[in-house]
Amino acid sequence: MHKKSIELLNKAIAEEMTALQQYIYFHFHCDDQDLDILSTIFRQNAIQEMIHVERFAERILFLKGEVEMKASQDVQKITDPEEMLKMATKLEEDAIILYNKFANECAQHGDSVTKQLFESVIAEEERHYDDFDKESENIQTYGKEYLALQSMERAKKRGIPRPTTPVE
């Protein structure tokens, strides 16, 4: 009865798995470059993508389907922050377009619950897109200095340890 919905949900899982793995990769590299803001954004978005996978999988299981846990693409080895943001923005944009299409297909096949699920995930993907787009704009506006400030902020947080006993 819901064979088409199960197929679409598994395709969505593949897209989410790709984004999840890519964002975790970016998180590791941003953290290594002391880019705390970007590192945190990628980590938080990866977690949200994982939640999307879970929601899609729960729906598949409810429909008595089999969950396919395969990414649609391999992780791209990108370490430049500007290129990371370009790719992340593109992944989100593609997901928004794809999930709108999937929502419409579910409606055509009489599955309004899966349609609503896709619509709710679209709203979250739009927020992810906005996160990445704002960071890209910040780099365009302030240049590489914006990234340098993130590294400086981490250095300030680490700081020099204060002595535990008074110095005479």
Provide the whole-model pTM: 0.87
CATH number at residue 37: 1.20.1260.10
pLDDT of residue 73: 95
162 falls within a domain: no
CA 157 to each of CA 15, 20, 85, 154, 160: distance values in angstroms, whole numbers, following the listed order: 36, 28, 25, 5, 9
* pLDDT > 80? residue 153: no
pLDDT of residue 150: 72
Q: Which amino acid is at 47?
A: I
Tell me whether residue 92 is annotated as binding.
Answer: yes
Check if the beta carbon of residue 95 is closer than 8 Å to that of residue 125. yes
pLDDT tens digits, one per residue of 55-74: 999 999 999 999 999 999 99
Tell me whether residue 49 is annotated as binding.
Answer: yes
Q: Evaluate the CA torsion angle 38, 44, 48, 53 in order and state its sign.
A: positive
66 falls within a domain: yes
State the Cα–Cα distance between residues 99 and 122, nearest whole angstrom: 6
Tell me whether residue 52 is annotated as binding.
Answer: yes
Tell me whether residue 105 is annotated as binding.
Answer: no
67 falls within a domain: yes
Distance from chain centroid for Cα 167: 48
